[in-house]
Amino acid sequence: MKKTFQLSELDCAMCASRIETAVRGVEGVTDAAVHFVTQKLMLEADDDIFDEVLARVRKTVARTERGCAVL
């Protein structure tokens, strides 16, 4: 399953790059991309574990960039 999420408080392109790298390292993520200009995260994971993966991704984003959140 592939879904796109809005990111809040994404301040710079370097922050977007750090988030993308961190999210790609989350267990269960098969693909991820962060677009700074649109402030969006594209996340791909298997359908049967997508909600679990999304929860891990939300925690990872919050740890990687304080104040940034996946909406």
Q: What confidence tier does 48 reach under pLDDT thresholds 50, 70, 90?
A: very high
Q: What confidence tier does 71 reach under pLDDT thresholds 50, 70, 90?
A: very high
CATH 3.30.530.20 fits 2-70, yes or no: no
Report the 3 state secondary structure along 8-71. ECCCCHHHHHHHHHHHHCCCCEEEEEEECCCCEEEEEECHHHHHHHHHHHHHHHHHHCCCCEEC
Q: Where are the domains of the chain?
A: 2-70
pLDDT in tens, 2-38: 999 999 999 999 999 999 999 999 999 999 999 999 9
pTM: 0.94
